[in-house]
Amino acid sequence: MNKKVRLIMKKIKKWTALLLSFTLLTPFAFLYACKDDTANSSQPQSSISDNSSSLPESDSESDFIDSSESFEDSSSDTESSSSSMNSSSSSSVSKPPVNDSSSTVSSTAQYIRLTGDSVNVRAGAGTDYAVLGSAEKGTMYAVIGKSGAWYKTYYKNKTAYVYASYASVFTLEKSENKNVEKVVSEAYKLLGVPYVYGAVRVHDGKGKLLAGFTAQKFDCSSLVQYVFYKGANKLLDVNTRTQVKQGKYVAKNNLQRGDCIFFTNESRQYNTGIERIGHVGIYLGDNYILHTSSDYARIEKISAQRWKFYVEARRFL
């Protein structure tokens, strides 16, 4: 019995020793297994240092944000862009405003110069429309539109059309002053209106409207008075010799669109003072003038002879 007990006790001791050995070794094995991780944690955060040469040079958070925004911008027009990317970029990237060409105002004014003789000016864009009048070669009109092969313009206070094959186009710079352009636009409508010396003025120079006025006939000073009143509500006096006292003096080398140029003429050139003045026209730029003289209201280049009659220029706006 004692022998069996001793044998059992021996086995118990053996197993106990084995268990104690296993228990003591396990923590060391665990510590050994964590040793490399602890060592790695002491290294710089760039843990993929062996492959760092294949990464982009800049990998900061801000760079990645810029990169994603650029990608969104470049892919926003493609069908493959996801809705989630579009929604995220719209909150972080402000798109440039769309350029609405319909709201763009042109900085130049278009004109036509007739290239044929006795060109018909019609009431509509086609030969079936009534002929309002005819114009000789070189006559100039403002272009206010185009319908097919017809230029839209003004003629004797009416909208009119000229066949494009009988006209060439040129342009002049517009004024930055909107009131100047309004005045010039009113003058366009009078092209072709007959010249009548002493035509009744639209007002007395102080704003009182005059009986008997009609926009179907003008002399030079009544035309200028009318378009400044109609286009800019500007009151000018009743003739050239009083109008020249108004506004601001402008040197000949500083003429601008909308300025009024005062000339002498054959019958007044030897007079003195303001009595020399006998004609006025509206300067359009690039040596062009809109005026009426002896026949009808027209646009024309200032001739060398008319420049010899130059007296003074005034700016009313």
Say whether both 311 and 182 belong to one domain.
yes
CATH number, domain at 153?
Answer: 2.30.30.40
Does residue 74 fall inside a structural domain?
no
Question: C-alpha distances in angstroms, 59 versus 1, 54, 114, 232, 306?
Answer: 80, 12, 68, 63, 75
Does residue 143 fall inside a structural domain?
yes
Question: C-alpha distances in angstroms, 176 versus 55, 180, 189, 280, 285?
Answer: 56, 8, 21, 23, 13
Using the Cα atoms of residue 66, residue 68, residue 72 and residue 74 in order, give the sign of their dihedral. positive
Say whether both 132 and 208 belong to one domain.
no
Domain final residue pick, 173, 195, 221: 173
Does residue 76 fall inside a structural domain?
no
Number of folded domains that form the chain: 2
Say whether both 134 and 261 belong to one domain.
no
Q: Is the separation of the CB atoms in 284 and 293 below 8 Å? A: no
Taking only the tens place, the pLDDT of each residue in 7-28 is: 666 666 666 555 554 444 444 3
Say whether both 233 and 254 belong to one domain.
yes
Radius of gyration of the chain (CA): 45
Domain final residue pick, 173, 193, 219: 173
Say whether both 191 and 304 belong to one domain.
yes
Say whether both 146 and 194 belong to one domain.
no
Please tell me which residue, 142 or 6, carries the higher pLDDT value: 142
Please tell me which residue, 179 or 87, carries the higher pLDDT value: 179
Say whether both 199 and 288 belong to one domain.
yes
Say whether both 189 and 232 belong to one domain.
yes
Domain final residue pick, 173, 194, 214: 173
Can you tell me the mean pLDDT for 239-251?
Answer: 98
Say whether both 247 and 187 belong to one domain.
yes
What are the residues facing 169 on neighbouring strands?
112
pTM of the model: 0.67
Per-residue model confidence (pLDDT) at position 231: 98
Asked if pLDDT for residue 106 goes beyond 90, the answer is: no
Q: What is the DSSP string of 110-175?
A: EEEEE-SSSEEEESSSSTTSPEEEEE-TT-EEE--EEETTEEEEEETTEEEEEEGGGEEEEEEEPP
- For residue 297, the SS3 value is strand
Give dist(CA 283, CA 290) in Å, integer. 7
Q: Picking from 35-39, 201-205, 206-210, 302-306, which range would have the lowest pLDDT averaged per residue?
A: 35-39
Please tell me which residue, 43 or 168, carries the higher pLDDT value: 168
Say whether both 307 and 219 belong to one domain.
yes
Say whether both 150 and 182 belong to one domain.
no
Residue 146 lies in domain: 105-173
Taking only the tens place, the pLDDT of each residue in 35-74 is: 333 333 333 333 333 333 333 333 333 333 333 333 233 3
Q: Picking from 94-108, 140-154, 201-215, which range would have the lowest pLDDT averaged per residue?
A: 94-108
Per-residue model confidence (pLDDT) at position 88: 38
Q: What is the DSSP string of 25-49?
A: HHHHHHHHHHHHHHHHHTS-S-TTG
Question: C-alpha distances in angstroms, 101 versus 61, 105, 161, 189, 291?
Answer: 39, 9, 26, 27, 34
Does residue 32 fall inside a structural domain?
no
Does residue 221 fall inside a structural domain?
yes
Give dist(CA 280, CA 310) in Å, integer. 10
Asked if pLDDT for residue 4 goes beyond 90, the answer is: no
Percent of the chain scoring above 70 in pLDDT: 67
Can you tell me the mean pLDDT for 108-117?
Answer: 97
CATH number, domain at 310?
Answer: 3.90.1720.10
> Per-residue b/e over 60-93, b at no fewer than 16 CB within 10 Å?
eeeeeeeeeeeebeeeeeeeeeeeeeeeebeeee
Does residue 248 fall inside a structural domain?
yes
Say whether both 234 and 287 belong to one domain.
yes
Does residue 164 fall inside a structural domain?
yes
Does residue 48 fall inside a structural domain?
no
